[in-house]
Amino acid sequence: MIMVYCEQRNGELLNVGLELIGKAAQLSKDLDREVVAVVCGNKITHLAEKLANYGATRVIALQHPLLEKYTVDGYTEALYQVVQSENPDILLIGATLTGRELGPRLAARLKTGLTADCTNLEIDPESKLLLMTRPAFGGNLMATIICPNKKPQMATIRPGVFPIPQADTQRTSEVYVFTPKLREEDIKVKVEQVIAKVRRHKDISAEKIIVAGGRGVGSKENFDLLEELAELLGGGIAGSRAAVDEGWLPKDLQVGQTGKVVRPKLYIAIGISGAIQHLAGMQESEYIIAINKDPEAPIMKVADLAIVGDWKPIVKRLIQQLKQN
Ligand code: FAD
């Protein structure tokens, strides 16, 4: 069995869980195993039903009043109990902030290994082991890791690396409620209140159009022009690590290996060279436009439309045109 932990926050399923169900469904064909989705919380059976639409063969609603708010103790214990009961061959978790916290604790409890922050998963045709690929040595090479003789084989996977499968609302699957045995005293950390951070920007992984800037944009003030272009196009802004390191953009707008993975319909890369670590976060975009004064910049090779020149007059003209239309 391939088990996928599908994270919910405030009663909303995160996309990464759906992405992982899609990938697990592909892997299950090579393994001939069922895909079981697990969603954890309190009164969450309606979410479990939704997961069936995305390709899970079976859905487990892991629920208990003590799981109302996320706590690492409570969720680790609850997942531990469900894994003990179901005995999956593979367990996949999204590498979100909570997934990165839960995964290693759960692996330690289960006495198995964990490959963290993976960017690809395959099944080895001979050994039938899960091949878990992740960047290593500062991103200079991609390491493929196996976990033989241990069960489950566990991985956390970066959000956005796999597409969300098409939902089929006709598709249903068995939904099973699992009530873990939890005691209040087992949960050492009590969450009193969750205060949401006020964000000026949307989550870039959800944007359909992204206008991204790099060091070539030149200054924080120049990003106002990129923001204006993004607004006219109905999208959001993002940037390279160089732009973030310069302090021109907040870290949650960084695209790439150590930032977010995005796959919008349109990605406009302005003054970005296209280092391998940046490409890792955006090359799956549907249509890429690059504006760069260097025709040899690596970004020009992945671009569907490469515009050679100084970005500022080009962007100003684009803004002017869009305002006229
Ligand atoms: P540069 O490489 O300096 O490129 C600037 C570009 O702007 C050039 O191509 C130049 O021709 C062009 N330009 C300059 N002036 C103009 C102008 N007026 N008009 C048009 N074009 C102009 N990087 C990421 O982006 N994301 C990551 O997540 C990430 N993770 C990393 C992880 C590791 C372990 C390491 C080692 C590096 C990582 N990096 C990451 C850094 C990456 O290697 C590059 O250094 C970075 O992406 C470069 O950013 P840039 O393209 O904005 O800047």
Ligand 1 pocket mutation, candidates 142, 246, 254, 277, criterion most atoms within 8 A of CB:
277
Percentage of the residues of the chain whose pLDDT score is greater than 90: 78
For the cut 80, the answer to whether the pLDDT of residue 200 exceeds it is no
Kindly state the average pLDDT of the residues 298-314: 97
Res 80: pLDDT? 98
Q: Could you tell me if the CB of 273 is within 6 A of ligand 1?
A: yes
Q: How far is C-alpha 205 from the chain's CA centre?
A: 8
Nearest 10 degrees: Cα torsion 14, 15, 19, 21? 40
What is the per-residue pLDDT across 118-131, written as a single tens digit (0 to 9) for each? Answer: 999 999 999 999 99
> Where residue 133 falls among pLDDT bands split at 50, 70, 90?
very high
Res 136: pLDDT? 85
| Dist. CA 32–CA 302, nearest whole Å | 36
Ligand 1 centroid, distance to 317 Cα (angstroms): 24
Ligand 1 pocket mutation, candidates 248, 251, 292, 312, criterion most atoms within 8 A of CB:
292
Distances (CA, A) of 133 to 31, 94, 115, 139: 18, 14, 8, 12
Ligand 1 centroid, distance to 275 Cα (angstroms): 6
**Is 240 labelled a binding residue?**
yes
**Is 237 labelled a binding residue?**
no
Structure tokens at 321: 């045109």
| Dist. CA 26–CA 44, nearest whole Å | 26
Ligand 1 pocket mutation, candidates 211, 278, 285, 307, criterion most atoms within 8 A of CB:
278
User: Of 21-25, 137-141, 234-238, which gets the smallest average pLDDT?
Assistant: 137-141
Res 79: pLDDT? 98
Structure tokens at 318: 């684009």
> Where residue 173 falls among pLDDT bands split at 50, 70, 90?
confident
Res 125: pLDDT? 94
Ligand 1 centroid, distance to 115 Cα (angstroms): 28
- Structure pTM? 0.71
**Is 99 labelled a binding residue?**
no
Strands of the chain, DSSP E: 2-5, 8-9, 12-13, 35-41, 58-63, 90-94, 114-118, 120-123, 130-136, 141-145, 153-157, 174-178, 209-213, 236-239, 266-270, 287-292, 305-308
| Dist. CA 233–CA 144, nearest whole Å | 39
Q: Could you tell me if the CB of 249 is within 6 A of ligand 1?
A: no
Percentage of the residues of the chain whose pLDDT score is greater than 70: 98
Structure tokens at 238: 């993002």
Q: Could you tell me if the CB of 75 is within 6 A of ligand 1?
A: no
**Is 281 labelled a binding residue?**
no
What is the per-residue pLDDT across 74-108, written as a single tens digit (0 to 9) for each? Answer: 999 999 999 999 999 999 999 998 999 999 999 99
> Where residue 198 falls among pLDDT bands split at 50, 70, 90?
low
**Is the bond preceding residue 152 a cis peptide, omega within 30 degrees?**
yes
Q: Could you tell me if the CB of 138 is within 6 A of ligand 1?
A: yes
Ligand 1 centroid, distance to 293 Cα (angstroms): 13
Give the mean pLDDT of the chain: 93
Q: Could you tell me if the CB of 275 is within 6 A of ligand 1?
A: yes
Instruction: Of 81, 145, 146, 71, give the one whose Cα is nearest residue 110.
Output: 81
Ligand 1 pocket mutation, candidates 255, 260, 273, 317, criterion most atoms within 8 A of CB:
273
The residue contributing the CA closest to ligand 1 atom 26 is 256
For the cut 90, the answer to whether the pLDDT of residue 223 exceeds it is yes
**Is 272 labelled a binding residue?**
yes
CB 52 within 8 A of CB 175: yes
> Where residue 140 falls among pLDDT bands split at 50, 70, 90?
confident
For the cut 60, the answer to whether the pLDDT of residue 53 exceeds it is yes
Q: Could you tell me if the CB of 222 is within 6 A of ligand 1?
A: no
Residues paired with residue 123 on neighbouring β-strands, in sequence order? 130
Higher pLDDT: 203 or 264? It is 264
The residue contributing the CA closest to ligand 1 atom 39 is 277
What is the per-residue pLDDT across 227-283, written as a single tens digit (0 to 9) for each? Answer: 999 999 999 999 999 999 999 999 999 999 889 999 999 999 999 999 999 999 999
| Dist. CA 132–CA 118, nearest whole Å | 6
Q: Could you tell me if the CB of 256 is within 6 A of ligand 1?
A: yes
AA identity, residue 72: V
So what's the ipTM on this one? 0.99
